[in-house]
């Protein structure tokens, strides 16, 4: 049976939960706000399916030759509503127009992030855009398998570890399954998110939350809350307390600090990300409205991109150069030294003041660190 002895070895992917034939595994939050499997030993039949399915215990090495593109959706309305270039919507529309189903992360009625499915293009809005909190997978792997066995086309989108989870759960390749992941910085605590959400809403009913509002620009995005009473809260990302804590790695899942999925050789068919640094690599595709970085990782991904590329402005780019300013593709984020202290204090102290205290750094020190990361990355990948 699955036993979590080191929390940094569990991504919370839900593969063990979904595969258990006796439903004796539940996913429960720990004191930090992250989901981990808990086994009911009285119901357990010692089949060890959970251990055999765990993608961390049984890691897979992918041998492929991914290629990269910079691109954005020609539909300016969709692009404006999207985190970067609006490519997710094109991919999802193509799947639904082929009588397929899309799985993605969206808000529930309480503005927690959960995985759900849809076969309706009008529903894609709920999956669109970044959500800076770990989503709960629930029973979606089981639902995916049922649909695949009915020969439905399925697009499953998620973080790299969630793609690893569903691949391990399924145990074999399905020609009608397409997986799309993202370049992931790391996943924040559900409890920290709930605390911050309630702090900003202050009793007001939330109408919408946008982690990457582009009204202030793509590169200088804002976190925005809209309320039913007509009021709103909006703050530039690099000034916003929640975003600052996220970027400074104050409340990420323990596994994120030594992520098993930091590689260019991915299990997904397509990878989407912001193309940070586009202005220095392909300035002709930079208008500060959002440009996507797209990795094509498989023949399935290649075919899908061929189906949508006429609706995009796109250009090929060297994949190693493409991540010059997106090192999260291949390098885990560094654990903040005061992470544990913050998680012990944030509920009882002023959130904004605590974030300011624990993210305050000398500018020279911070930029020297960033420069060194990029320098080491460039050297490691032989970019130049």
Q: Is residue 58 part of a domain?
A: no
Q: Is residue 1 part of a domain?
A: no
My answer on whether 30 and 79 are in the same domain is no
Residue written as token pair 């692009």 = 79
* First CA to last CA distance, the chain: 48
Residue range 87-96, pLDDT digits in tens? 999 999 999 9
Alpha-carbon distance 27 to 14, whole Å? 7
Q: Is residue 358 part of a domain?
A: yes
Alpha-carbon distance 183 to 361, whole Å? 26
Q: Is 230 exposed, middle or buried (0-12, 13-18, 19+ CB in 10 A)?
A: exposed
Q: Is residue 2 part of a domain?
A: no
**Structure tokens belonging to residue 105:** 């992360």
Q: Strands across the sheet with 222-227, in order?
A: 206-213, 222-227, 232-236
The predicted pLDDT at position 363 comes to 37
**3-state SS, residue 212:** strand
Is it the case that residue 376 has pLDDT exceeding 70?
no
Residues facing residue 272 across a β-bridge:
182, 294
In this prediction, residues 111-119 reach a mean pLDDT of: 97
Alpha-carbon distance 199 to 267, whole Å? 38
Alpha-carbon distance 109 to 204, whole Å? 14
Q: What percentage of the chain exceeds 70 in pLDDT?
A: 94
Is it the case that residue 10 has pLDDT exceeding 60?
yes
pLDDT band at 384 (very low <50, low <70, confident <90, very high): very low
Q: Is residue 126 part of a domain?
A: yes
My answer on whether 175 and 280 are in the same domain is yes
The predicted pLDDT at position 375 comes to 53
Lowest mean pLDDT among 86-90, 117-121, 276-280, 379-383: 379-383
My answer on whether 74 and 117 are in the same domain is yes
The predicted pLDDT at position 5 comes to 84
Number of other CB atoms surrounding residue 125 within 10 Å: 14
pTM of the model: 0.93
| CATH at 34 | 3.30.70
My answer on whether 33 and 71 are in the same domain is no
Instruction: Decide if 39 contacts 25 (C-beta within 8 A).
Output: yes
Q: Which residue has the higher pLDDT, 60 or 231?
A: 231
My answer on whether 82 and 26 are in the same domain is no
The predicted pLDDT at position 366 comes to 44
Q: Is residue 14 part of a domain?
A: yes
Q: At what angle do helices 299-308 and 87-97 cross, to 10 degrees?
A: 100
Lowest mean pLDDT among 249-253, 271-275, 379-383: 379-383
My answer on whether 27 and 117 are in the same domain is no
My answer on whether 108 and 222 are in the same domain is yes
My answer on whether 21 and 110 are in the same domain is no
My answer on whether 302 and 236 are in the same domain is yes
Nearest to 234 by CA among 133, 331, 101, 243: 243
Alpha-carbon distance 369 to 331, whole Å? 14
**3-state SS, residue 67:** strand
In this prediction, residues 310-325 reach a mean pLDDT of: 97
Instruction: Decide if 139 contacts 129 (C-beta within 8 A).
Output: no
Lowest mean pLDDT among 7-11, 28-32, 57-61, 145-149: 57-61
Range of the domain at 23: 7-53
My answer on whether 119 and 31 are in the same domain is no
Alpha-carbon distance 86 to 142, whole Å? 29
Is it the case that residue 367 has pLDDT exceeding 50?
no
Q: Which residue has the higher pLDDT, 318 or 377?
A: 318
Is it the case that residue 339 has pLDDT exceeding 60?
yes
My answer on whether 33 and 127 are in the same domain is no
Q: Is residue 107 part of a domain?
A: yes
My answer on whether 268 and 365 are in the same domain is yes
HSE (CB half, 13 Å, CA atoms) of 382? 0
Alpha-carbon distance 186 to 51, whole Å? 24
Q: Over the chain, what is the mean pLDDT? A: 93
The predicted pLDDT at position 314 comes to 98
The predicted pLDDT at position 360 comes to 83
Q: What percentage of the chain exceeds 90 in pLDDT?
A: 91
Q: Is residue 30 part of a domain?
A: yes
pLDDT band at 374 (very low <50, low <70, confident <90, very high): low
Number of other CB atoms surrounding residue 31 within 10 Å: 8
The predicted pLDDT at position 229 comes to 97
Domain count, the chain: 2
């Amino acid at each position: 049976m699955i036993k979590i002895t080191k929390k940094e070895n569990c991504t919370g992917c839900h593969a063990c939960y979904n595969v258990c034939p006796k439903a004796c595994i539940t996913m429960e939050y720990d004191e930090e706000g992250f989901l981990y499997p808990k086994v009911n030993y009285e119901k357990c039949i010692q089949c060890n399916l959970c251990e055999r399915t765990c993608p961390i215990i049984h890691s897979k090495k992918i041998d492929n030759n991914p290629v990269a593109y910079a691109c954005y959706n020609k539909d300016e309305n969709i692009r404006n509503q999207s985190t970067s270039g609006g490519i997710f919507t094109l991919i999802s529309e193509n799947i639904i127009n082929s009588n397929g189903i899309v799985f993605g992360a969206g808000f529930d009625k309480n503005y927690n992030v959960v995985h759900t499915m849809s076969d309706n293009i009008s529903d894609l809005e709920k999956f669109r855009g970044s959500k800076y909190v770990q989503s709960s997978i629930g029973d979606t792997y089981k639902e995916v398998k049922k649909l695949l066995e009915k020969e439905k086309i399925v697009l499953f989108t998620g973080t790299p570890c969630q793609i690893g989870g569903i691949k391990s759960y399924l145990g074999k390749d399905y020609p009608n399954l397409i997986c799309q992941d993202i370049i992931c910085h790391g996943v924040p605590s559900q409890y920290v998110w709930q605390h911050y959400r309630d702090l900003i809403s202050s009793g007001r009913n939330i109408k919408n939350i946008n982690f990457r509002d582009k009204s202030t620009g793509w590169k200088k995005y804002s976190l925005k809350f809209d309320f039913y009473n007509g009021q709103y809260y909006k703050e530039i990302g690099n000034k916003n307390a929640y975003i600052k804590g996220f970027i400074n790695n104050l409340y990420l899942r323990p596994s994120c600090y030594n992520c098993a999925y930091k590689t260019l050789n991915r299990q997904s068919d397509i990878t989407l990300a912001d193309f940070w640094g586009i202005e220095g690599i392909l300035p002709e595709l930079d208008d500060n409205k959002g440009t996507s970085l797209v990795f094509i990782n498989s023949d399935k991904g290649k075919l899908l991109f061929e189906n949508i590329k006429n609706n995009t402005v796109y250009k090929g780019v060297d994949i190693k150069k493409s991540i010059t300013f997106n090192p999260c593709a291949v390098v885990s984020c560094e654990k903040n030294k005061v992470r544990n202290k913050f998680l012990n204090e944030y509920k009882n102290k002023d959130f904004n003041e605590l974030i300011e205290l624990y993210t305050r750094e000398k500018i020279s020190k911070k930029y020297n660190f960033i420069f060194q990361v990029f320098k080491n990355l460039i050297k490691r990948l032989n970019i130049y």
